[in-house]
Amino acid sequence: MNQGNNLRGDYSHINDDYTIQQDWDKYTDAEHDLWRKLYARQSRILPGYAAEDYIRNLEKLDAAGQIPHFGRVSEQLHAATGWHLVAVPGLVPDDVFFDHLANRRFPVTVWLRKPEEMDYLVEPDIFHDFFGHVPMLYDPVFADYLAAYGAKGAEAIAMGGLKNLARMYWYMVEFGLIMTEHGLRAYGAGMLSSQTETIYSVTDSTPNRVAFDLERVMATDYAIDDFQKTYFVLESYDQLFDAMKTPMAPIYERLVDKPSIDPSTTLPTDRLYHVHGDAERIIALGQEPHQTEPHRQQRPA
């Protein structure tokens, strides 16, 4: 990103680390109303689609009734996993973002989308950041993963590996799936803050669902303006935490000379999950790749 140019947030009062005051009292009744509407609409579809620990932790946040107060949640979160929430005007520079994560500070955008943007938004707003990301910060393993991920940022930037490391955020923080005892579930903030992609990611037979592999993820391109063509599937959040013990430098060196993997394709070495339109009926972990078909819907934030 650039220094706030072309971004919606107000960057005129930022601290050196891009944090600001949340100014909770400034939210209007109309904004609290819209928040309630977004929250109700989105939480209704979660059962059967979202990871159960995500749902449980969302409920703990007690944020259905009004736009949440970061300070209050932050205290509770810190007691649970050592993370804090910090208020930001929107996207922050990569090095700043990584530094916040490495220090267990999760940047949450302060502004809320407009009523006409219920379904689609380009930049992250408070609904995406809070509803999508904060519940997972209560999961101790995921929380440790995200801090370890942030600690890898500086090296990636120095080595030209930012693009590769950012894919671990995209695929495993924004759009991650997990295979649970009750079937495939979504835990990524990008899909969970979107009505349509939550259901699509878990049930539609079109996208590829590939068993998680660190280097496979880091080699794979993504699009930000459409539903994902590939999702990566965990069996446990431990896989993410363990992956962060892998030395990254050799991966960046290997990937720099290789073309990125097109997310509409799969590799013969992939372990693929197949679904038949019903989250409860995950069929098989097979070997044969399946083709994706083009579709035109935009990705809601």
The answer to whether the CB of 216 falls within 8 A of the CB of 210 is: yes
Q: Which does 88 bind (CB under 5 to 8 A by kind): ligand HBI, Fe ion, none?
A: ligand HBI
Q: Closest distance between ligand HBI and the C-beta of residue 146, in Å?
A: 11
Q: Which does 91 bind (CB under 5 to 8 A by kind): Fe ion, ligand HBI, none?
A: ligand HBI
Candidates 73, 48, 226, 205; CA nearest to 135 is 73
Neighbouring residues of 156: CB distance < 8 A, sequence distance ≥ 6:
162, 164, 165, 248, 252
Query: Cα–Cα distance between 141 and 144 in angstroms, integer?
Result: 5
Q: Closest distance between Fe ion and the C-beta of residue 106, in Å?
A: 10
For tokens 């979202």, what's the residue?
50
Note the residues at the interface with ligand HBI (CB under 6 A).
Answer: 1, 88, 91-92, 94, 97, 107, 124, 166, 169
Q: Does 189 bind Fe ion (CB under 5 A)?
A: yes
Candidates 180, 170, 183; CA nearest to 139 is 180
Q: How many residues bind Fe ion (CB under 5 A)?
A: 2
Q: What is the DSSP letter of 220?
A: B
The answer to whether the CB of 221 falls within 8 A of the CB of 170 is: no
CA 45 to chain centre: 18
Q: Which does 189 bind (CB under 5 to 8 A by kind): ligand HBI, Fe ion, none?
A: Fe ion
Query: Cα–Cα distance between 271 and 116 in angstroms, integer?
Result: 40
For tokens 């993963």, what's the residue?
145
Q: Does 192 bind Fe ion (CB under 5 A)?
A: no
Q: Closest distance between Fe ion and the C-beta of residue 209, in Å?
A: 21
Q: Which does 92 bind (CB under 5 to 8 A by kind): Fe ion, ligand HBI, none?
A: ligand HBI
Q: Which does 61 bind (CB under 5 to 8 A by kind): Fe ion, ligand HBI, none?
A: none
Q: Closest distance between ligand HBI and the C-beta of residue 94, in Å?
A: 5
Which is it for the CA torsion 299, 275, 269, 144, positive or negative?
A: positive
Q: What is the DSSP letter of 74?
A: H
Stretch that binds Fe ion, among 121-129, 204-212, 251-259, 282-290 (CB under 5 A): 121-129
Q: Closest distance between ligand HBI and the C-beta of residue 244, in Å?
A: 14
CB-wise, 1 or 118, nearer to ligand HBI? 1
Query: Cα–Cα distance between 54 and 52 in angstroms, integer?
Result: 5
Q: Which does 207 bind (CB under 5 to 8 A by kind): ligand HBI, Fe ion, none?
A: none
Q: Does 136 bind Fe ion (CB under 5 A)?
A: no
CB-wise, 169 or 231, nearer to ligand HBI? 169
User: Residues interacting with Fe ion, by CB under 5 A?
Assistant: 124, 189
